[in-house]
Amino acid sequence: MSIVKIENVRVLDPIQNTDSVETVYVENGKRVAETANVSETIDGQGKWLMPTMVDLCARLREPGQQQHGTLKSEGKAARENGILHVFTPPDSKPIVQDNGALIHGLVEKAMLDGGIYLQVIGAQTQGLQGQQPANMAGLKKGGCTAVSNASAPFANDDVVLRTLEYAAGLDLTVVFYAEEPQIAKDGCVHEGFIASRQGLPMIPSLAETVAIAKYLLMIEATKVRAHFGLLSCGASVELIRIAKEKGLPVTCDVAMHQLHLTDHLIDGFNSLAHVRPPLRSESDKELLRQGVKSGVIDAICTHHEPLSSSAKMAPFAETQPGFTAFDTYVPFGIQLVNEGFFTPLEWVEKVTVAPAKVASMFERWKAEAGWVLVDPEQEWTLSKETIVSQGKNTPLLNQKVKGKVLQTFIAA
């Protein structure tokens, strides 16, 4: 195996909680002792070296939606942007995540085609129809550690309770993407001034907070381990804080873009700013940031959703929601550092150790993780040519960003 020597690089190690400038030797994705048997030397002056990241929510579009992305294209995009472990919700088309036998094949294909460790979240109900619990025992046997109904509604709350009891009995985590369908209805953007002026159907913050409050009561009753993904509202942070203070087995995450972007981007019916949960207000953004800083929000995910250009070409409300987010993940993280919100080590912890612990895979991640060389000062333009993902659907298209992954060192 070739050994790479990286000289004078700033090593951000959240496992050891250290931040120091060192000369590092890497072989097959692992740090090794100093040696003269070096095949390549890299000048690491001004660069950062950090572990490969863990993403708690990304849609890779395979199977069934290869016009938007494939395991090969999105695996490559994840890897080249420093992400090695990826969790994906159970809402592919067709839905295969209610069948434990099929999940194993999907995980194998992700490694063979894309070179990533895919973690499939199993379906909470059969076919995500919200009627009957899925075969969770079979899903666990197939390798699932968590189940979810993704963004699909439940027929009624009794179904939710039965699935939570079932999951608790199997020691599975239940992942909620909280949205109360009777409140959200056919909405597509945050309920605010810009949406009102443009006449777009709206999703009030209450759609999220009412769902979270209801699910927290069920979690308390069933003792199931639960994770709330993709928080978008400031009030949601307070609900989770209270739940954690009560000792409920609850964790949560937020998409990186919710810490930076707000609903002002939908002005002019900009369909590239159509995402669900929607971009919300400036005050929501600030409260989400405070939630991450305080530790109430455990981790930051990408919420990567690649889409073809045609998916964004209809009138705003009829376009598909979603951002391509692998390529903006590191620049957005470095922006938080440059704004003084995080130290570099604090940011690295939120995208590596923290999500690994949320997913109860810290020891496995430590064994499988590689290293990522980052240039925090490199400016580049997010264009259709520079975005690695097959999807080019970002509201930052053709804008300059700072911070780029130069190289990912992983096991061959």
Ranges of residues in the chain whose predicted pLDDT is under 70: 1
Instruction: State the Cα–Cα distance between residues 273 and 269, nearest whole angstrom.
Output: 8
Instruction: State the Cα–Cα distance between residues 36 and 333, nearest whole angstrom.
Output: 35
pTM: 0.97
Instruction: State the Cα–Cα distance between residues 4 and 28, nearest whole angstrom.
Output: 9
DSSP string computed for 359-398: TT-HHHHHHH--EEEEEEEEEEE--TTT--SS----TTTT
Which two structure tokens, joined as six digits, stand for 330? 């590191």
Report the phi/psi class of residue 248: left, alpha or beta, with left for phi > 0 and alpha for psi in -120 to 50. beta
Q: What pLDDT score does 199 carry?
A: 97
In 244-399, DSSP assigns E strands to 250-255, 299-301, 371-381
CATH fold of 52-369 reads: TIM Barrel (3.20.20)
Sign, CA torsion 257/234/59/225: positive
Q: What pLDDT score does 412 carry?
A: 77
Residue 400 and residue 379 in contact, taking contact as beta carbons nearer than 8 Å: yes
Instruction: State the Cα–Cα distance between residues 174 and 182, nearest whole angstrom.
Output: 22
Domain ranges of the chain: 52-369
Cis peptide before 331 (omega within 30 of 0): no
Q: What pLDDT score does 1 carry?
A: 65
Q: What single DSSP character describes residue 278?
A: P
Q: Which helix (H) or strand (E) holds 294?
A: helix 282-294
* Backbone φ and ψ of 84, nearest 5°: -110, -30
Q: What pLDDT score does 162 carry?
A: 98
